[in-house]
Structure 1
């Protein structure tokens, strides 16, 4: 079997790369060892959002009297919540299958390994092997949960995100190690359903990649929800021999405390899936656990590309998608099927979203990073408690924070925490892409009443023109 382009992996980087290559007129095959859609669609982005929606509906119903509605006897059915989540993932998986057929992409199920220049060996589930040939190969093998040596995942008492999505029974207590997006999302899900949750974070604040004001607000909201938060703390060891897990946690002052829970969720980041795929055979260079690539995602071996979580950029689904499209277009340019080199991604204008409640969304510089970069800044913050739409929705927690260069008005960054802010951050991404200034935001009419007008209101605060606060 010979193809123009072979894609290893069908996640949010792999399947868009395959589709874009097909659109450009290439004969394309995609190799997938498990299920189409990869981790994001089947075990990450999509099913976790389904779980979060179920818990949010449950929260609404528990507090229905605040909206003048009396709902009695409301209970969460843990098994049904899990089942709905899996159903959503299965539906999306079928959608990717349809897209492969629509775009005439051959799907080859099995584990793909680089065998020689232009050759991939595929091992099927039954152990049979075959060789697929392709002029270009795009590696999109994604990543998995990272394991700490002192926190080995056994899948029962110490679990990763995959197990957290399909637990057979709801635990009465849970320790979440790590407070990035995965950690805080699962902390919210399980706490809302009635599990006693403790977050242990090694760094001084939770969601540590976010602006400091966002971290402070989320910690305040989580403590109000009854989630215990331990920062500057590390899990030194776990004892799984008894009925419960015993975790020895070292605090900032050097003292230790033993926490007990039904289960420990390890959410300490990810590791790229680059082992065993033949990189060494062809001499593909790697660095710090990722595949080395150029601006068009070509590796150190011509004709072989790498995108998504196994490449050096941010490990986000939307980043992988754009990298995959760019890699396909770069190949198209070489083969004279595309008119120009793809525009390089601006990795300082990548929106990040965390779907806990309240949601978090951010893009660009934090206030601290902007100052460290030498900017004199104007900062504006608009709290949702001053928003008519937020007040009507009963969702007044949080704020929008914007950062501008005081000299030229450059939109340096925005950081949001509150209801539906993940739907609002795209405005700032587009504004920064178009080099929009603060005054241009103020002169663009924002609809009222909406949550999104908080962006304009925050800009008004930054420029001393606030009306509603």
Structure 2
């Protein structure tokens, strides 16, 4: 039995908790997977590195639009994959080495699966089969989330891929079925499509990215037809196929629905109905990208007195759970599962831990989540912050809406852009910018100036007239939209 001042479960953003302020604390870190969490290993960072390669391929494929004779012949998938993980894996390994090394003498790392057994006490089933009992005066839960596996008939009997595994495939498949229509499906589907895979997207909804503003969702769905064979409004009735089983390289395997690993197979069939008609599609690889769920259901939270809702740990604004001394943040407790939000939360949580021990001056800190932005790195790119037009009207707010195409700017002409736009929603009376939604090249960068203006309480008039916009930069589309309001 080991007792600590602080026990941390997870090494994503939670690995940022132990800083110099905690050098006098005895700390346990529990990690069941690879150091660095979702973002570093299987999420934001590797996927965007793949997206960049896909963008290069797509640029070559469309070069003829600009009078350039070029053709995209093929992609060296192993080289693309190894470039990505040749950068990422050493960082993950280095993070682990740092925490178990001499530079962190106050930290003990437990590599295994943690579950509560009582108040502020965890049993850790170690990878070697042994079990360690760990308790802490404080416990920080940063155990993240995992891919959601829908209860489709047959899914539990076939090997398949999720975002956790598909980026480590041995070779580029000729064909792929993607189940889902959210950001993960749209990003990874685009990667494989741009690199040469025939991608079929099977989605329950009538549009992709349906959580986005309606105009953005509709425009993205239309643009996606260039990359995907879209099967929308589909109700999946069965999944079958798959091939051999066996060992795979690190991460190069699919997960069965019970969580057991098996090698990727081939010749999958997905059957579904649309408009009352039965249809089916076949492909070499099956990617399940139907969302993510928090890992709270795997922590035996009830034994620790920690309240949750469907696996999502409930906290107050200071990240305290219902159990004294137990804290939670990030994808495990937030409805918004984004790395930049988790990073902001962990900075506040670190301060709150010190306040709780009278080692820092109060008050405790919270994070204002009203203006948390997000982006979808597909083609076209999407970025958003604040209310959609749909949400603003549902709230009964008096609004003004501006929608300006990229093609109405000089830089848009240079790009021959005819589909991208920036849509802004303002309060008609206070002139406050309520929401910004951009679809097109550099959307994730263009939205940042609007986030800053909203965060500092500027009106749309102040944003439009209080600064210069470089001509002929793409930022003029933002200026034009603000002026229209």
TM-score above 0.5? yes
**Cα distance between partner residues in 2 of 1:206 and 1:261:** 21
Tell me the equivalent position of 2:56.
Answer: 57
Tell me the equivalent position of 2:15.
Answer: 15
Q: Secondary structure at the match of 2:287?
A: strand
Q: Where in structure 2 are the equivalents of 1:158-197 lying within 5 Å?
A: 158-197=160-199
Q: Secondary structure at the match of 1:86?
A: helix
Q: Secondary structure at the match of 1:176?
A: strand
Q: Where in structure 2 are the equivalents of 1:325-404 lying within 5 Å?
A: 325-393=347-415, 397-404=419-426
1:445 to 468, 474, 482: 468
Work out whether residues 308 and 319 of structure 1, in 8 Å CA contact, stay in contact via their aligned partners in 2. Answer: yes
CA displacement at 1:395 relative to structure 2: 5.5
* Larger deviation, residues 151-160 vs 451-460: 151-160
CA displacement at 1:192 relative to structure 2: 0.7
2:140 to 134, 138, 141: 138
Residues 276/163 of structure 1: CA separation in 2 closer, same or farther (3 Å cut): closer
Tell me the equivalent position of 2:236.
Answer: 235
Tell me the equivalent position of 1:315.
Answer: 337
Tell me the equivalent position of 1:275.
Answer: 297
**Cα distance between partner residues in 2 of 1:214 and 1:406:** 22
* Larger deviation, residues 240-249 vs 294-303: 240-249
CA displacement at 1:417 relative to structure 2: 0.8
CA displacement at 1:103 relative to structure 2: 7.4
Structure 2: gaps of 5 or more residues: 244-265
CA displacement at 1:402 relative to structure 2: 0.6
CA displacement at 1:152 relative to structure 2: 5.8
Residues 105/240 of structure 1: CA separation in 2 closer, same or farther (3 Å cut): farther
Q: Secondary structure at the match of 1:274?
A: helix
CA displacement at 1:416 relative to structure 2: 0.7
1:200 to 202, 213, 223: 202
* Larger deviation, residues 61-70 vs 351-360: 61-70
CA displacement at 1:393 relative to structure 2: 4.9
Tell me the equivalent position of 2:46.
Answer: 47
Work out whether residues 354 and 360 of structure 1, in 8 Å CA contact, stay in contact via their aligned partners in 2. Answer: yes
Residues 148/122 of structure 1: CA separation in 2 closer, same or farther (3 Å cut): same
Tell me the equivalent position of 2:260.
Answer: none
Query: How many residues are paired up?
Result: 458
* Larger deviation, residues 136-145 vs 282-291: 282-291
Residues 429/94 of structure 1: CA separation in 2 closer, same or farther (3 Å cut): farther
Q: Secondary structure at the match of 2:168?
A: coil
TM-score by length of 1: 0.90
**Cα distance between partner residues in 2 of 1:317 and 1:327:** 15
CA displacement at 1:69 relative to structure 2: 5.1
Q: Where in structure 2 are the equivalents of 1:250-265 lying within 5 Å?
A: 250-251=273-274, 253-265=275-287
* Larger deviation, residues 303-312 vs 168-177: 168-177
* Larger deviation, residues 334-343 vs 261-270: 334-343
CA displacement at 1:323 relative to structure 2: 2.1
**Cα distance between partner residues in 2 of 1:154 and 1:57:** 37
RMSD (Å) for aligned C-alpha atoms = 2.6
Deviation string, structure 1 residues 127-153 (Cα, Å, up to 9, x no partner): 233333421111111111111111665
TM-score by length of 2: 0.87
CA displacement at 1:454 relative to structure 2: 2.2
* Larger deviation, residues 368-377 vs 232-241: 232-241
Work out whether residues 55 and 189 of structure 1, in 8 Å CA contact, stay in contact via their aligned partners in 2. Answer: yes
**Cα distance between partner residues in 2 of 1:73 and 1:373:** 48
**Cα distance between partner residues in 1 of 2:62 and 2:365:** 48
